[in-house]
Amino acid sequence: MRTRQGTALVTGASSGIGAAYARRLAGRGWDTLLVARRAQRLEDLAERLREVTDTTVETLVSDLSDPDDLARVVRRAADGDVGFLLNNAGINGYGPFAELEPQLMTKVVDINVRAVTALTRAALPAMLQQGRGTVVNVASQLAFAGALPPHPLPERAVYAGTKGYVVTFTRTLAAELAGTPLRVQVLCPGLTATEFHRSRGEEPVPGRDESVHEDGGMPVGQVVDASEAALENGEVVCVPGLRDPAPIDGLAEAELAIRTAARRSGG
């Protein structure tokens, strides 16, 4: 007899961090609600999870940049049974900002910002009512790379901006919920061994099997390990591979210094 944990909603579950996290959660007894654009990938993962973990798996084939699809997932997230929300879906839309296609730019913002915000808002009330719940929003180390030039980093103004929003949104929400039993984390991986860089996001990477882009990176299992360890330690900002928390602590100290100085100067 397995211990039922509740339902975990995982977006971007068809590959990479989303698929790895879904496997980890199902292995710990969570029923899963898998959301992504690729139906066959979702069904393959769902079948494996059912066979290996004996958990209930639901799939929702959805493009979170589509208002109707997002509304459908939001309604499901608000049903009251979601105890773990992993907002992992994201696309990069890399390229020179002055040449970025407006449709792709909008898609990046819709998936990376709008969907994260709407799904968190949908799931949170029931978590608060039940007195338990976890929200993990996946950002990126590029959220902290605003002043760094491209090459070798990608041209990324919109992507980095959206991930900066995810960092600030999650940290601020965590502060708001500090007196509750809920756990809130922003996961900021660096280069990870997934297929993320094989597409700018207009369309998902084709094929039934997961792949890895040529740049390689940290194995997805290590990213999930870092996230789980940070949740256990109550850490809001998780940067896999960062052993010394001083830079994160320094970020909060710098923010306080800026606000304090601005008030003293009358700004």
Catalytic residues: 159
**Residue among 242, 163, 227, 231 at smallest CA distance from 196:** 163
Q: Spell 242-261 as b/e; 16+ CB within 10 A means b.
A: eeeeeebeeeeeeeeeeeee
197 vs 213: CA distance, rounded Å: 6
- 61, β-bridge pairs: 36
List Cα–Cα distances, 102 to 82, 90, 158, 168, in angstroms: 34, 17, 11, 25
237 vs 187: CA distance, rounded Å: 6
